[in-house]
A and B are shown apart, each in its own frame.
Chain A
């Protein structure tokens, strides 16, 4: 395994560049993942060889670009096991994907007095669009409380469901404390109550296999950049029947069949939701990133990340002054903690000096931080390119910070 990881690490050019004169311990994958050479090359190759627009050229380069763009859509379809590429909409990221559902499906299906249910663990991207909708349509936005460990239980969901709950929007993995939600239990409960379900898979996409048919979720959103792909590209999956019913979100080129000055005939799925020239290089990069993940396989990814997370948990909890924030039943590759008497930002600055990149702050999950009564935490997250040395570097640096603040 070690040789395997060393080999992988060499494919991430960023890991070879010292930071503040130190070896880089990138423990901020939950914010964004590093990019392997193959993804960087795929993007550069598009710009070098066929930097043409898609779906609108009759020339060779546009055909090449279109073929690559659509091959990526196919890779995404397989990656989440959707039935058809009609169900795969390229967006700019998770945030836009959720905004499309809120703005389009919300408008279409919801009316004043209906409930949208989220959880207390959500990222702002899965809170704010629903607040917009609440203010626009007069829906009620309710949230499922987490328990003391940081879990969202089936009972907690049941208690918040009402006959007016039309949509339940949940994260698959909490970016702030690492909880993996028991989706295969939660989704059927929401469906039984007549609600549709949106899954925010921004964190989950790179660390657990996703199967939208097995989950039976109605919508699923994720971002390319947390999956070793570029920023500015993401995916909205929606069941074809729902996407068909939903009005388009943005108007423009590519999303139309025909336009007169009075009337527009919308394009078929998924193009109805892809107005304007898309992020072609981004989609191609994402497609290559998915292939990269497939080449490694989730078995190896999960095995490695579980082991690292466990090692780090043990190491951190044995340091006096470290308090773990959230102790979920099923944790993924994320650990949040605080240091007695040290503000997370001060810790972040000093960790950075030691080459350790973590995230300090509220992790775009302020309601969750408020529940814990904290302004923020220090968050370390692990990926396939991390190793034991990274954890040792983290622990050494934390011990040094504790000494400075003593």
Chain B
């Protein structure tokens, strides 16, 4: 994938227009807001975690197509996963959107692979990571100093 037009594939546009898991959870156990003051994007990510399993995930707020689609796809990808799985997916997604070379879309990334190619748009990486970072801080409010932060 190379061009900006490629980036705005149907899947990203679809999820930005009609995001999945958009809203809140009455019995959320974890909450974190995600703001990018630079562009005014502002979301709230909520999770219901039972033991080590993320049973439900949702988000609400407003932002660009990239941030919204990323949040929608993230929620969809992490529901039913363990918090350890989340961490793995987080790292994988982060590597995908930040690697300078076009990372080959990996099978188990599923629809999240739509974001490979984002690395060519450094100004937009923050958008894609916004809700991922929020979900991660919700799960782990005191990350160790060595954790990479985008």
Contacts and interface: CB of A to CB of B under 8 A. Distances in A.
A241 interface: no
Given A353-B3, A404-B8, A346 B65 contact: yes
Q: Size class of B's contact patch?
A: 20 to 34
Contacts of B145: none
Nearest to A374: B40
Given A346-B65, A361-B38, A404 B127 contact: no
9 contacts: A341-B17, A343-B63, A345-B39, A353-B3, A360-B39, A375-B40, A404-B5, A404-B8, A405-B13
Contacts of A344: 39, 64
B139 interface: no
A400 to B, nearest CB: 8
A229 interface: no
B4 A345 contact: no
Interface string B4-48: 110110000100010000000000000000000011110000000
A341 B64 CA distance: 10
Contacts of A353: 3-5
A353 B41 CA distance: 22
B39 A376 contact: yes
Nearest to A345: B64
Q: Do most interface residues of chain A lie in helix, strand or loop, or is the interface mixed?
A: helix
Interface of B: 3-5, 7-8, 13, 17, 38-41, 62-66, 121, 123-124, 127
A349 interface: yes
Interface residues of A, number: 18
A369 interface: yes
Contacts of B65: 342-343, 346, 405
B8 A350 contact: yes
A129 B64 CA distance: 31
A343 B64 contact: yes
Nearest to A362: B40
Interface string A368-393: 01000001100000000000000000
B40 to A, nearest CB: 3
A63 interface: no
A200 to B, nearest CB: 22
B39 A361 contact: yes
A352 interface: yes
B124 A349 contact: yes
B8 A346 contact: yes
Contacts of B4: 349-350, 352-353
Q: Nearest 8 A-B pairs (CB), nearest first?
A: A375-B40, A343-B64, A353-B4, A345-B64, A346-B65, A349-B4, A346-B64, A345-B39
Given A349-B124, A376-B40, 4 more contacts: A341-B17, A344-B64, A350-B5, A375-B39
A279 B63 CA distance: 40
B3 A345 contact: no
Given A362-B40, A369-B40, A376-B39, A346 B5 contact: no
Interface string A328-356: 00000000000001111110011011000
A374 to B, nearest CB: 8
